[in-house]
Amino acid sequence: MAQPDNTSKPEAEQASGRFLTKLTVIATLGGLLFGYDTGVISGALLYMKDDLALSAFGEATVVSSLLFPGAAFGALFGGRVADRIGRKRTLLVCAGLFLIAAIGCALAPNVQIMVAARIVLGLGVGAAAVTCPLYLAEMAPAERRGRMVTINELMIVTGQMLAFAMNALLDRLVHDPHVWRTMLAVAAVPAVALLVGMLVLPDSPRWYGLKGRLGEARDVLALSRTPQQAADEYALIVTHTHRMLKTTRTPFSVIRDVPWIRRVVLIGCGLAIVQQATGINTVNYYAPTILEESGLGVSAALVATIAVGVTSVVTTIIGIILLGFIGRRTMLLIGFAGVAAAQGALSLAFLMSESTLRSYVILACMVLFVGFVQMFIGTCVWLLLSEIFPLSIRGFAMGIAVFVLWCTNAIISFVFPLLNKSLGSTGTFGLFVAVNLVSLVFVYRLVPETKGTSLEELEERFEAQGSTVPVASV
């Protein structure tokens, strides 16, 4: 009897590994679209502003409409939709929004239609930002959850780099003032792939459990676990679901009335704020401007921006590898300390005499800053947001946190040029140093460690701690 078991276990592990790999590749197409659609506009604007006769206000509106109201409200309502109709169906809706909006942006005859299409695109981006990591976290075994969820972050930065590269390629190959339409239309290809791919995948076992569909939960676990792992995890889900289904309260009332849940939601919102308060999007959106003002020519500044994009991808890959060995809290603590140090060096670099050396020192400090954010912070925050919320409100709570994230993104992106004008680059990045030191204290005091623990066990641990014990003490 022992021989068949020994033979079947490796086969079961290989089968579950193949299924999880396929699932990860398909689901993270949402992250790829997130990255591409937020990155492509920088190149498309160079042509679009003349073609659509955009004023400065119109240009700002086209760019920002994806972030707010689009992505912010997409996140807020996307989480609630994911709880109601499931993670799979929500990703199918996201794919449909990406496809419709990509076509709408590419064909837009005027700025009003462009803004409307960008808002629809933002709804898809926001909802996907919530649902992709949520789906991956609920599908993954505890030991693979970190790497599976953070591959979505890798796909986001890959999508941004792909957008920069596609813009440059089309600019070189297509000598047409309407080339911006092709740049925007390219996003339809991964949208179709996401739509078709999600049709063949199941929903998550946790969502099936949430809806009392325990037989389907067991079937999905059998696809993605060895028989023993599936049986153990199924028992956890059954126990957890029976206890949870006894309550009929709405997610809002649960957050309002249960102190430990309210605490966890506030920590999630705090994580969303500190991720954006690193100032990462000051580099993502304004790197060419910063580098040009430092003394580089326009072409050199654009090439340097691609280097920043490559840095994001490479350091995200390293961060995913490190997550297999280092805890989430430790990663964040290293990240915020490194970001503060890099920004301190960056603020001092602007005090140097203007020269080519000064420009490249500034670029080196920016690359170091981006590296610390993507390697240690970007990967961890999205992962923690997908892990810490209890099942009964997981989609709703993550939607709130990501809504806060997008609002913080929009505020910092709007305020940065004003700060830079009034305080100068040295003062502005010096202010970010202080902000990131406060974020370091927040992580140290309040953020929990979640590595190597099932989602059900995490929920039980947080509940046992209640609202009086510091989460970080465990």
pLDDT number for residue 395: 87
Helices (H), 447-468: 455-465
Question: Any idea which of 22-36, 165-179, 323-337, 381-395 has the lowest mean pLDDT?
Answer: 165-179
Q: Is residue 217 part of a domain?
A: no
Distance CA 300, CA 295 (A): 10
pLDDT number for residue 262: 92
Last residue of a domain, one of 167, 201, 235: 201
Q: Are residues 171 and 275 in the same domain?
A: no
What mean pLDDT do residues 396-423 have?
85
What mean pLDDT do residues 189-196 have?
94
pLDDT number for residue 469: 40
Residue 7 has pLDDT above 60, yes or no: no
Q: Is residue 235 part of a domain?
A: no
pLDDT number for residue 203: 95
Residue 339 has pLDDT above 90, yes or no: yes
Read off the CATH number of the domain in which 76 is found. Answer: 1.20.1250.20
Question: Any idea which of 183-187, 314-318, 447-451, 464-468 has the lowest mean pLDDT?
Answer: 464-468
Distance CA 96, CA 102 (A): 10
Q: Are residues 184 and 282 in the same domain?
A: no
- Phi and psi angles of residue 86, each rounded to the nearest 5 degrees, phi first: 105, 160
Q: How far is CA 110 from CA 45, 62, 123, 275, in A?
A: 13, 11, 20, 35
Last residue of a domain, one of 170, 201, 232: 201
Q: Are residues 294 and 407 in the same domain?
A: yes
pLDDT number for residue 122: 92
Question: Any idea which of 18-22, 44-48, 71-75, 343-347 has the lowest mean pLDDT?
Answer: 44-48
Q: Is residue 285 part of a domain?
A: yes
pLDDT number for residue 471: 46
pLDDT in tens, 246-298: 666 777 888 888 899 999 999 999 999 999 999 887 776 666 667 766 666 65
Q: Are residues 178 and 35 in the same domain?
A: yes
pLDDT number for residue 128: 93
- Cβ atoms of 125 and 76 closer than 8 Å: no
Residue whose tokens read 């919530």: 130
pLDDT number for residue 143: 83
Residue-level length of the chain: 474
Last residue of a domain, one of 201, 232, 267: 201
Q: Are residues 258 and 177 in the same domain?
A: no
- What tokens appear for 416 in the block? 């940065």
Number of independent structural domains in the chain: 2
Residue whose tokens read 């740049």: 183
- Cβ atoms of 402 and 126 closer than 8 Å: yes
pLDDT number for residue 246: 60
Q: Is residue 232 part of a domain?
A: no
pLDDT number for residue 248: 61
Q: Which domain holds residue 120?
A: 8-201
Q: Name the pTM for this structure.
A: 0.80
Q: Are residues 283 and 197 in the same domain?
A: no
Q: Is residue 462 part of a domain?
A: yes
Instruction: Write the single-letter amino acid at 256.
Output: R
Give Cβ neighbours of residue 197 (< 8 Å, ≥ 6 apart): 25, 26, 29
Q: Is residue 173 part of a domain?
A: yes
Q: How far is CA 164 from CA 170, 256, 281, in A?
A: 10, 44, 15
Residue of 417, 473, 421, 414 lying closest to 447 (CA atoms): 473
Q: Are residues 180 and 265 in the same domain?
A: no
What mean pLDDT do residues 16-28 have?
91
pLDDT number for residue 250: 77
Q: Is residue 184 part of a domain?
A: yes
Residue 43 has pLDDT above 80, yes or no: no
27 against 63, higher pLDDT = 27
Residue of 388, 387, 85, 391 lying closest to 244 (CA atoms): 391
Q: Is residue 80 part of a domain?
A: yes
- Cβ atoms of 393 and 206 closer than 8 Å: no
Residue 10 has pLDDT above 50, yes or no: yes
Average pLDDT, the chain: 85
What mean pLDDT do residues 112-141 have?
93
- Cβ atoms of 398 and 385 closer than 8 Å: yes
Give Cβ neighbours of residue 247 (< 8 Å, ≥ 6 apart): 254, 392
Q: Are residues 172 and 112 in the same domain?
A: yes
- Cβ atoms of 210 and 83 closer than 8 Å: yes
pLDDT number for residue 286: 63
pLDDT number for residue 172: 77
Residue 6 has pLDDT above 70, yes or no: no
Q: Are residues 279 and 416 in the same domain?
A: yes
pLDDT number for residue 278: 92
Q: Are residues 293 and 390 in the same domain?
A: yes
60 against 14, higher pLDDT = 14
Q: Are residues 269 and 406 in the same domain?
A: yes
Question: Any idea which of 2-6, 180-184, 361-365, 440-444 has the lowest mean pLDDT?
Answer: 2-6
What mean pLDDT do residues 424-445 have?
93
pLDDT number for residue 298: 57
Residue 105 has pLDDT above 70, yes or no: yes
Q: Are residues 313 and 448 in the same domain?
A: yes
